[in-house]
Amino acid sequence: MKPAREVRAFADRLGHEFRRPALLIEALTHASIAGPTRPDNQRLEFLGDRVLGLVMAEALVATDPAAREGQLAPRLNALVRKETCAEIAREIGLGDVLKLGRSEMLTGGRRKEALLGDAMEAVIAAVHLDAGFEAARTLVLRLWGPRLARVEHTPPDAKTALQERVQAEGQAPPAYAEVARSGPDHAPRFVIEVRLESGETARAEAGSKRAAEQGAAAAMLSWLGAGADG
């Protein structure tokens, strides 16, 4: 399969010349437009997530040999979470070359965090399958390098911050549950509730479960802060 001009330009931005261009096409294909002869990027996203995690874990260990597991884990989470993958996808213009169905196109799919994050992981897997782990490692370290250098000073996301707080207090990790869903399939809204072992709850609504969970965690942190002040 010969890629279109914009896809070839994207490969140039990646700095990788694909021997099997079909892998890149697959990495950029969302399920909304996939079919029997056009596989979507979900399998590649699964693999790319693991490749990214290994590369970042190795880099963190090498960068700070004295860091303990409890210090490394939140740094790793900050580097591999979907939000970070989506940020990097935006930086390299990945959204411009995503292959989407009409419904996703109409609802701003090229800007959606989940779609961008998944596609970024799929692209990593495509490079890995095309040229091996070292090629994927080189790509990841180049794209993630600035964030790797400053991750020690990056504040944790709301979910991580909440989990660290309650576990420091001797509680079990927070539990998240979907309590409501509304809207059409192409533009859903989710209400997520977070519950602590001590009984406190907080809710948030967003266009993805991941964002709603982060919102609920932020709401709980805000409430706990207010409670501590009061």
Q: Which residues are catalytic?
A: 49, 121
Q: Among 53, 100, 92, which residue's Cα sits nearest to residue 72? A: 53
The whole-angstrom separation of Cα 134 and Cα 49 is: 16
Residues in Cβ contact with 62 at an 8 Å cutoff, skipping those fewer than 6 apart: none
Tokens of 10: 């994207």
Q: Among 36, 10, 35, 43, which residue's Cα sits nearest to residue 24? A: 10
Q: Among 193, 156, 163, 195, which residue's Cα sits nearest to residue 178? A: 193
Q: How far is CA 191 from CA 112, 148, 186, in A?
A: 18, 33, 16
Element (H, E) at 204: strand 201-206
CA angle 127, 129, 135 (to 5 degrees): 45
**Neighbouring C-beta atoms of residue 97, cutoff 10 Å:** 23
